Structure formats: C-alpha cells, structure tokens
C-alpha cells in the first residue's frame, strides 16, 4: 500500500517543517482512575509539559536490585555478543541493552506493576503493551551523548507507529545529577512535530542506536521549541520515575564524570496504536527494537 499523505511526514523532503500535533496528549478511557493513577494536578502538568517526574516512586532497596539486574544483563549480553547489546560509538562498553523485559523476569514483572502500568493506561486511555524496553548505562567517563530527538519521529518513520499514543516510562536506576548526563527535555515540545530532512538508509538502527544521524531535528526548529518552552533536566535520586510523551523533544550529554548514570526505559504503546509498515519502503526493524509480536495488552499484577 502506498500512503498518499501522511500527517506526520518526515525524511521525505529536503526541507524541515514544523507540524502541529494532531493527537490528544492524555486519552480519555476506562483507566482514568486506579490505585496509582496521577492526580488531576499531575495530569494537567503532564498535558502541558509532555512529561512528569515522580520522585521516590520506587524505594531504594528495590531500585538497588533493579540496578544489579541491569548490570548483570549488560555484562552477560555484551559477553555473548547478543544483538540486544549495543556498544558505545568507537568503544567496547555496553551503551544500551534492548528487550530487557524479554531477557529478565525482574523487568518483565515491572512492566505489569501497577505503579507504572496504572499511569501508562491512564495516559493512553486503553490497554497497553511494551513497544520497546531498554537500559541505557552511560558509564562514567565513557558514556556518550544522545543527540536531540523525538522518539515518535523514529517510531513513526522506521517502525510505522501510526499516532502519538505511546509513553516512555524511565526508572532512574542511579542518581541522575548535573554531572553524569541526565536526560534533558523541552517542556511543551510534544505539541509540535519536527519533520526532519534526509533519506533513511536500510538497517539504520545499527548505526542510530550508537549515534543518530537521520531523524535529527534542524537547529532552527530546536531553537523555536526551546525559546517557547525552555529546558528542564530530569535530575533526581534513584527510584524516581519519569513519564514522557513519545513526541517530547529530548536528549542528553555525555558522561565525563566518574559517576555512572543508568536508566531503565519501558515504552508503553496503546493496543489501538499497533505498528503498521515502516514509511518509505524501509524494512521493519527487528523485534528487539520494535515489538510487533504482541497479541494482547499487559495483565496487571
Ligand atoms: O531508535 C529508537 O527506537 C531509539 N532511539 C533513540 C535515540 N531513542 C529512543 C529509542 O530507543
Ligand atoms: Fe529517546
């Protein structure tokens, strides 16, 4: 099938463009109230900024266990040369491990934990499944940056995600501070879609997960977003949890401090927003980066 028009067109023209968001930020639905759902006030803040950070959502003892699990997984998958283990550009250190909810029962359970799942369902207004999961390790001295991007731009073009109806849940596994390259977000940026220039090469993910060069917004658009919304960094102690909309512009600096910065990402997508064909004749990315083989929503624990 050839798509004649795509409301979120990108990487198909040689000019950048800014497109207004065509989708709700918070979807009405059957999961608006639950044990761990956000308050009205919190939800309003999420809707306005495109993210919300909850300090101390997970207790220290639990976070320490998750960090241990993440490190073991990184070491084991790096040693075995699994495709899920992505190395730092020009280095040997493990940068990210993907599909952690498939590799570890601890992370699998966490995806169904009410503290996270209630919020994801509340925001997306439906049952949800995991589109992508990963740990970003950003080791001290060696962890390289993640340049500015909207996840949705990549998921729409490279994975065929139809609409903006996914939310990333980030569990801080170590403290994130001003020294170790915390995530930076542009408040309000989720309301604009930055259409990027450049054609995407086949199997782009092999390169982009180490260092992204396509699907990168232009400087004029970034300036526009930051002038409107400013910047915020997601600093906080381990156990804090950040929920951010799939179209929120974000990035992070490299970590030249001695302190490692490890974060777990669970991306929830609505079951009503399952993946289509990628745009521009691209081959679908592998299952460990973009899940297609899920038949039903997550069962809450
Ligand atoms: O390509 C992806 O799906 C990923 N790339 C980045 C830089 N962020 C989100 C996602 O993990
Ligand atoms: Fe991202």
pLDDT at 229: 98
212 within ligand 1 shell (Cβ under 6 A): yes
| Mean pLDDT, rounded, for 274-288 | 96
Pocket of ligand 1 contains residue 208 by CB under 6 Å: yes
**Which ligand is in closest contact with the Cα of 249?**
2
- What's the gap in Å between 35 CA and the centre of ligand 1? 30
Ligand 1 atom at shortest distance from the alpha carbon of 96: 11
Which residue lies with its CA nearest to atom 5 of ligand 1?
209
Per-residue pLDDT for 2 more than 80? no
Whose atoms come closest to the Cα of 145: which ligand? 1
**pLDDT score of 295:** 83
Domain segments of the chain as ranges? 24-281
- What is the spatial distance between Cα 272 and Cα 187, in angstroms, rounded to a whole number? 26
Say what the pLDDT of residue 218 is: 96
Q: Is the CB of 151 under 6 A from ligand 1?
A: yes
Mean pLDDT of the chain: 96
Q: What are phi and psi of 54, to 5 degrees?
A: -110, 110
Q: What is the number of the ligand 1 atom nearest to the C-alpha of 265?
A: 11
CATH architecture designation of domain 24-281: Sandwich (2.60)
pLDDT above 60 (res 190): yes
How far, in Å, from the CA of 155 to the mean position of ligand 1?
Answer: 8
The answer, yes or no, to whether any atom of ligand 1 lies below 6 A from the CB of 149, is yes
For 37, the token pair is 């759902």
**Alpha carbon of 150 to ligand 1 centroid (Å):** 9
* Position in ligand 1 atom list of the atom nearest CA 205: 1
Q: Confidence class of residue 231 from pLDDT cuts 50, 70 and 90?
A: very high
pLDDT for 9 beyond 60: yes
CA angle 176, 177, 179 (to 5 degrees): 120
Nearest ligand to the C-alpha atom of residue 134:
1
As a whole number of angstroms, the distance between CA 53 and CA 13 comes to: 36
Mean pLDDT on 47-69? 97
**What percentage of the chain reaches a pLDDT higher than 90?**
93
Distance 237 CA to ligand 2 centre (A): 20
- Indicate which ligand has the atom closest to the C-alpha of 267: 1
Say yes or no: CB of residue 156 within 6 Å of ligand 1.
Answer: no
Instruction: Kindly give the distance from the C-alpha atom of residue 250 to the centroid of ligand 2, in angstroms, as a whole number.
Output: 7
CA–centroid distance for 150 within its chain: 9
C-alpha dist (Å) from residue 287 to 63, 197, 273 = 27, 26, 16
Provide, rounded to the nearest whole percent, the portion of the chain with pLDDT above 70: 99
Q: Ligand 2 center to residue 265 CA distance, Å? A: 9
User: Taking phi first (over 0 means left), then psi (-120 to 50 degrees means alpha), and beta for anything else, what does residue 274 get?
Assistant: beta
Q: Which residues, including other chains, have CB under 8 Å from residue 41's CB and lie 6 or more apart? A: none
Which residues are found with C-beta within 5 Å of the ion, ligand 2?
151
Q: What is the pTM of this model?
A: 0.97
| Tens digits of residue pLDDT in 88-142 | 998 899 999 999 999 999 999 999 999 999 999 999 999 999 999 999 999 999 9
């Amino acid at each position: 099938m050839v798509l004649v028009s795509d409301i979120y067109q990108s990487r198909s023209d040689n000019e950048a463009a800014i497109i207004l968001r065509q989708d709700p930020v918070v979807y009405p639905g059957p999961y608006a109230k639950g044990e761990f759902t956000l308050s009205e006030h919190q939800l309003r803040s999420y809707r306005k900024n495109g993210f919300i950070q909850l300090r101390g959502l997970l207790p220290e003892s639990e976070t320490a266990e998750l960090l241990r699990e993440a490190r073991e997984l990184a070491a084991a998958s790096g040693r075995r040369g699994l495709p899920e283990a992505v190395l730092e550009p020009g280095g040997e250190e493990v940068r990210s491990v993907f599909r952690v909810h498939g590799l570890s029962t601890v992370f699998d359970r966490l995806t169904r934990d009410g503290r996270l799942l209630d919020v994801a369902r509340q925001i997306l207004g439906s049952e949800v499944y995991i589109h992508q999961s990963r740990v970003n390790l950003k080791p001290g001295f060696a962890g390289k940056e993640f340049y500015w991007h909207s996840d949705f731009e990549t998921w729409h073009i490279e994975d065929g995600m139809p609409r903006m109806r996914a939310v990333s849940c980030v569990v801080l596994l170590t403290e994130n501070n001003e020294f170790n390259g915390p995530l930076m977000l542009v408040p309000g940026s989720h309301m604009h879609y930055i259409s990027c220039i450049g054609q995407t090469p086949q199997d782009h993910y092999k390169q982009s997960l180490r260092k992204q060069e396509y699907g990168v917004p232009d400087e004029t658009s970034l300036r526009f977003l930051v002038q409107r919304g400013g910047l915020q960094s997601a600093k906080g102690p381990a156990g804090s949890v950040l929920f951010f909309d799939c179209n929120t512009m974000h990035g992070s600096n490299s970590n030249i401090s001695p302190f490692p910065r490890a974060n777990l990402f669970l991306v929830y997508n609505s079951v009503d927003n399952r993946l289509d064909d990628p745009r521009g004749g691209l081959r679908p990315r592998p299952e460990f980066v973009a899940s297609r083989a899920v038949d039903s929503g997550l069962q809450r624990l």
